[in-house]
Amino acid sequence: MPRTISVSPGQGPKYRGSSRGRKHGRASKKQREAIFRRDDYECQRCGSEYNLRVDHIKPIAKGGTNTQDNMQTLCEPCNSAKGDKTICYLDPNLDEVTA
């Protein structure tokens, strides 16, 4: 006897939420800590110490990598001002960074 199976939208078996620990995922907590420490817990653009986040210099969506030399500490306003552009605010004397 046939049954009707109702699948609610967005919950089909193929649907996957955010997968963790993959190549294109977000920076891990440990990684963020390392970036903050390297950048002295300061926004590399304006020097703010508040609302800090790790920014991808070259966005992952544009082929950037999840490596430390592609990351910089930015505060929230600076990060959203930067958007998805590729801008490196790191002190060029700090380390060798290829943007």
Q: Is 54 in the site for Zn ion (CB under 5 A)?
A: no
For position 52 contacting Zn ion by CB under 5 A, the verdict is no
> In whole angstroms, how close is the CB of 66 to Zn ion at the nearest point?
22
Tokens 């966005």 — which residue? 59
What is the rounded distance in angstroms from the CA atom of residue 69 to the CA atom of residue 48? 21
**Interface with Zn ion includes 35 (CB under 5 A)?**
no
Binding of residue 46 to Zn ion (CB under 5 A): yes
SS (H, E, C) 4-37: CCCCCCCCCCCCCCCCCCCCCCCCCHHHHHHHHH
In angstroms, give the least distance from the CB of 9 to Zn ion. Answer: 40
Q: Pick the binder of Zn ion from 48, 66, 68, 86 (CB under 5 A).
A: 48
Given the rule CB under 5 A, which residues bind Zn ion? 43, 45-46, 48, 75, 78
